[in-house]
Amino acid sequence: MAKLSLFARRRRRVRTALKAVSGTRPRLSVHRSGRHIYAQIIDDVAGTTVAAASTLDKDVGSKALGKTGASSEAAADVGKRVAAAATAAGVTKVVFDRGGFLFHGRVKALADAAREGGLEF
């Protein structure tokens, strides 16, 4: 059996911890690429996406902020937008799934903005 990469081990550890609270609250899942950041709130029981936002949205990212989608400012804007969409859908408490990414930089900026937007985690 091949050894797992550091990212894969971190991701497995995060997902294992999330299984303990699976089904109790929706999950705020974050994916970070080199150019963009994506966030979605997933109801694992129903298997549906409740709310989503990313820097690929037309009014977010480089066009709206004058910066690339890979900036902390763009990530904070995505966090605010996903929090607003979640509260509109009736979701206030979530579980944060950083998906194996370290909690600093853009991921932290998104999480802080989502908390300011009204999400509890």
Specify the pTM: 0.85
User: Does the structure show a pLDDT above 60 at 33?
Assistant: yes
CATH number, domain at 68? Answer: 3.30.420.100
Is 38 within a domain?
A: yes
Domain housing 74 = 6-117
User: Which comes out higher in pLDDT, residue 13 or 54?
Assistant: 54
Mean pLDDT of 46-70: 79
**pLDDT of res. 64:** 53
Mean pLDDT of 83-109: 95
Number of structural domains in the chain = 1
**CB-based contacts of 22-28 (< 8 A; 24+ apart in sequence):** 24/95, 25/93, 25/94, 25/95, 26/50, 26/86, 26/91, 26/94, 26/95, 27/94, 27/95, 27/96, 27/97, 28/82, 28/86, 28/94, 28/95, 28/96, 28/97, 28/114, 28/119, 28/121
